[in-house]
Amino acid sequence: MKDDEKQDPLHETVGVNPDSTLFEDLESGILRVTSVGASVEGSIGRLLSAWRHALIGRPIATAQELNQRLSKVQALPILASDNMSSSAYATEQIVRVLAIAGAGALSLTLPITFALVGVLAIVVLSYSQITRAYPAGGGSYAAARENLGVVPGLVAAASVLVDYVLTVAVSVAAGVEALTSVAPQLFGYRVVLAILIITVLVIGNLRGVRESGTLFSAPTYIYVLSLLGLLAYGLYRFMSGTLPTFVPPPGWTPEVTTSLSFLLILRAFSSGAVALTGVEAVADGIRVLKPPETRNANIILFWMAGLFGMLFLGVSFLASHVGLVPDPTEQETLISQLARLLVGGGWFHLLIQVATALILFLAANTAFVGFPRLSSILARDRFFPNQFLLLGDRLALSTGIITVGILAGLFVVMFGGSVAALIPLYTIGVFVAFTLSQAGMVRHWRRVKGKGWHVRMLLNGLGMVVTGFVALEAVTVKFSHGAWIVFILIPLIVLLMLAIRRHYVHLAHELRLRRLPSLERVTQPHMVFVPVEDLNRPVIDALAYALRLSTEVRAVHVTYDVASAERLRKRWEEWTKDIVLIVIEAPYRHWTSALLSYLDSVSKQNPNVLLTVVIPEFIPRHWWEHLLHSQGAMRLKLALLSRQNVVVVDVPYRLKM
């Protein structure tokens, strides 16, 4: 029966010289797909790739990866905008807490700012150690996992991931809030607007980090330069003794509700600790930088901290010296008050306002770099699905980018686009991760020792205590306002990551072959079934293919209507005696169940027989014509995937019309 291949001089007739437009034939015997070959698709793939190209551009070859990396000047605005943006509100956060103890307490603003900049310096220094120790990226996850163990590492990772998602949700919601305060008629559409902006960020980042960098970097530089200009002008006025004094409008005298206590100072300190957010992103995003990556990352870290420190200290210094009192109605920000006092309400004031609004918006973009990079590191370590490692058409980590977009969108929808509702969830994750990474570094110095390790350990210990305190403070204050959600999410994510790793480890173990078997002739008996709807062309093709596989072929006809089945059987018996036709009546109209039941019966009685189901499938020419058929073949194939020892053969019959 099956000896036709013997007579057939197949080796001579079948020659394969891959088409030179689709392949380059490399000397080593490897075929390399050309860009033309890479765009060969199925009919559905063609449709999808046309859309993909229109949205995110033409594919880039893997070898171009290094060319897509960012210089320091390009990377700074992407990796630092989250951190820099906090200079727009950090001073105000401190001032607002102190103000409840009276105007006199405001003199503590500058010392607290100095203390925070000091902590930032410790954190940045230890992150520069982390980037050196883990040049592949991973930040606090890498530091905690290496020095404290897997679970602390995963807690740090989960905390950072949650915070990345919240960074996007909060930043975009805040940006939309700024927009709707100018155009109140858009208020009803704030969720839709936020989703739209997240979509733009997703598409921008799918186009590649290079393009999104170019797209989104200008606002960061404009913000930094205009604010630095304002501060320089203020300093000049201070030096020349012409610094104006802020006169609070009547009724603005802050209501003294409490006396100045150590606790209040601590609270002001932890409110200002938003200054520390965004440091993690540099350590995670290290691989988007041109080599030498670690050196460049550290230069960016120091530039970021330096610029941020200047802005933060400058604003706090001037605000203290002009005697600013925060607007009790919260209609004007402290930065705006300061600018108006120094330069009046003209174009420069407007520039600062617009730049501030834009940088708050773009803080989200940092998370679109950080989340996918950290996810890919977790995927490399098997804690995240494989897909997070795949590079998209533009070498971006598409899965991570789309995931952070979708999750942030969900948060925005669930919280109705309200910044006030989202804020309590925010920044907790980052401080949990900081504490863990500082603790990891303390352990690191104890183990590694080296020059001056006592001082380094002491500094990281101080960092751990301070960031741990901020984390604790944030939790106690915000827990009942929604922060509990984060405390449910983090352990869930950790458990999920452990389950994912368990799956992959088991899988690798189960698939691995210790000894490669020899490819002998297979003698397992073989039975072939062909589901038959009618005697038509696709069915004949499938039966012919089935007869290639085995002499034991059975056609199975499932019917809802016995009369029509009898007609088919009569026609069948006139046609052939070679293949038996089994007729099954399905009174409950479950076509696949009837076939599965039959196959189950067969395999139960013949456990060592290999079963093959040959499915005749006709394929319409246009995808929409699939809608006109009930996809029985597709459903059967899906159902058969769950059966032991059943091979599925799809004999397609393509329609010409």
- What string marks each residue from 45 to 84 as x (binds a copy of itself by CB under 8 A) or -? x-------------xxxxx---------------------
Stretch that binds a copy of itself, among 19-27, 169-177, 235-243, 352-360 (CB under 8 A): 19-27
129 vs 597 by CB, closer to a copy of itself: 597
SS3 category, 254? coil
Please give, one letter per residue, the 3-state secondary structure of 360-427: HHHHHHHHHHHHHHHHHHHHHCCCCCHHHHCCCCCCCCHHHHHHHHHHHHHHHHHCCCCHHHHHHHCC
Of the residues 73, 247, 390, 406, which one makes contact with a copy of itself according to CB under 8 A: 390
Asked if residue 30 binds a copy of itself (CB under 8 A), the reply is yes
Rg (alpha carbons) of the chain, rounded to whole number: 33
157 vs 595 by CB, closer to a copy of itself: 595
Name the nearest CA neighbour of 124 among 287, 282, 289, 295.
282
| Smallest separation (angstroms) from a copy of itself to the CB of 140 | 25
Distance CA 254, CA 74 (A): 43
Q: Which residue has the tokens 């001037």?
A: 318
Stretch that binds a copy of itself, among 271-279, 314-322, 407-415, 584-592 (CB under 8 A): 584-592
Asked if residue 25 binds a copy of itself (CB under 8 A), the reply is no
Stretch that binds a copy of itself, among 11-19, 71-79, 161-169, 207-215 (CB under 8 A): 11-19
Asked if residue 17 binds a copy of itself (CB under 8 A), the reply is yes
451 vs 515 by CB, closer to a copy of itself: 515
Q: Which residue has the tokens 């940006």?
A: 175
Q: Which amino acid is at 168?
A: V
186 vs 639 by CB, closer to a copy of itself: 639
Asked if residue 413 binds a copy of itself (CB under 8 A), the reply is no
Tell me the DSSP string of 274-286. Answer: GGGTTHHHHHHSG
Asked if residue 185 binds a copy of itself (CB under 8 A), the reply is no
Asked if residue 548 binds a copy of itself (CB under 8 A), the reply is yes
| Smallest separation (angstroms) from a copy of itself to the CB of 48 | 10
331 vs 644 by CB, closer to a copy of itself: 644
Asked if residue 494 binds a copy of itself (CB under 8 A), the reply is no
| Smallest separation (angstroms) from a copy of itself to the CB of 54 | 17
Please give the structure tokens belonging to residue 253: 């005298």
Name the nearest CA neighbour of 206 among 407, 403, 397, 361.
397
Burial of 501 (0-12, 13-18, 19+ CB in 10 A): middle
CA distances from 245 to 229, 318, 325, 408 (A): 20, 10, 11, 43
360 vs 378 by CB, closer to a copy of itself: 378
Of the residues 23, 187, 303, 348, which one makes contact with a copy of itself according to CB under 8 A: 23
Please give the structure tokens belonging to residue 365: 């973009």
Of the residues 447, 454, 503, 570, which one makes contact with a copy of itself according to CB under 8 A: 503
Asked if residue 136 binds a copy of itself (CB under 8 A), the reply is no
- Residues in Cβ contact with 85 at an 8 Å cutoff, skipping those fewer than 6 apart: 171, 223, 278, 359, 360, 362, 363
Q: Where are the alpha helices (DSSP H) in 57-138?
A: 72-85, 90-99, 109-133
Asked if residue 564 binds a copy of itself (CB under 8 A), the reply is no
Stretch that binds a copy of itself, among 303-311, 442-450, 464-472, 597-605 (CB under 8 A): 597-605
Asked if residue 477 binds a copy of itself (CB under 8 A), the reply is no
- Residues in Cβ contact with 73 at an 8 Å cutoff, skipping those fewer than 6 apart: none
Asked if residue 31 binds a copy of itself (CB under 8 A), the reply is yes
Asked if residue 480 binds a copy of itself (CB under 8 A), the reply is no
Cα dihedral value 230, 231, 233, 236, nearest 10: 170
Q: Considering only residues 508-537, where is the footprint of a copy of itself by CB under 8 A?
A: 510-513, 516-519, 521-523, 525-527, 535-537
Of the residues 391, 402, 413, 472, which one makes contact with a copy of itself according to CB under 8 A: 391
Asked if residue 582 binds a copy of itself (CB under 8 A), the reply is yes
- What string marks each residue from 614 to 643 as x (binds a copy of itself by CB under 8 A) or -? ---xxxx----x-xxxx----x-xxxxxxx
240 vs 642 by CB, closer to a copy of itself: 642
Please state the φ and ψ torsions of residue 322, each to the nearest 5 degrees: -90, -5
Please give the structure tokens belonging to residue 12: 């001579």
Stretch that binds a copy of itself, among 246-254, 345-353, 437-445, 604-612 (CB under 8 A): 604-612
CA angle 470–475–481, rounded 5-degree value: 135
Distance CA 128, CA 282 (A): 10
Asked if residue 567 binds a copy of itself (CB under 8 A), the reply is no
